[in-house]
Structure formats: structure tokens, C-alpha cells
Amino acid sequence: MTDLEKLKTWLATYPGWEEDKPFFVDWATPKPGCVGLFPQGLEQLSLRRDITGGQKAVCRYRFRLYRAAALEENQEENARWLLDFQNWVEAQSAGGLAPHFGDVPQEERLRAEGGSLQKTGKLGSGLYALTLTAEFTRIY
């Protein structure tokens, strides 16, 4: 399973995940009621060699998660969803239940941060976004 598939599978376990909403990967013009995940790549934060010649890389993934609110949803519902989702991610990460991308699960951390309304549509819909940041270690 790819890292993207791991993340998508895990996102679907969120109790407030709307399975009936269209889900897209990468940027597309979101229509009201859609959810999108935009991978922003892998960043290597450090690389260290041990005395045996092995290497330990500390890495970071960033993903933007977009939720285009349906027209019938109000702003308070959307704000509640955003905060609840961010709290869920924190609890999942603290409990070791978030997806693991590296080789040292006990050192992994996943955060959902920067959640906000990005823009509003002509008909009153809103585009909400947050950043999912995963920090992990890979051993080579």
C-alpha cells in the first residue's frame, strides 16, 4: 500500500467523514460537497550516518486537505467539523493510530493545523482547508 493509500484509508475512519461526498486527490476546482487531498511532497529534515554505515533520515510529508462545504451547511457546522477533525487527528497520533510512514513508529507524529475558511463561493458555499503534517524517520 502506498503512503497516499494509507492516508486515504485512515481518513475514511474519521467518524465525521462523509463517505457520500466525492473525494479527489490533487487540486481540482472543488464543487460544493467535495473533499480533496493535495500532496505537497516529501521533505528530508536531516540525514545521519551511524557507525555501521546505516543512515537515518528524518522526513516530513505535508498534505492540504480541502473540504468544499455543501450549500445547505452553515458556517457553524463547518467550523465544528474543522475543529473536531483537528482534535481527532491529534488523538489518533497520540494513540499511535495514525498511519505510519517510517521505520520508527514510536517517533512518528501527525498534525492537522492551520484549519480555516479559504474562500467563499457566489452561492454561499465555502472552501475550508487545513494542513496535515507527518514527521517520521526512515532507516536505510
Per-residue tens of pLDDT for the chain, all 140 residues: 999 999 999 999 999 887 767 778 876 666 677 788 899 999 999 999 989 999 999 999 999 998 887 666 677 777 888 899 999 999 999 999 999 999 999 999 999 999 888 877 766 667 888 999 999 999 99
User: Comparing C-alpha atoms, which of 60, 25, 56, 24 is closest to residue 44?
Assistant: 60
Question: All domains of the chain, ordered by start, with CATH?
Answer: 3-139 (3.30.2000)
Q: How many CB atoms lie within 10 A of CB 94?
A: 11
- Give the pTM: 0.85
- The C-alpha cell at 139 is 532507516
Torsion of CA 22, 132, 115, 30, to 10 degrees: -30
Cell numbers given for 62: 505535508
Contact 95, 106 (CB under 8 A): no
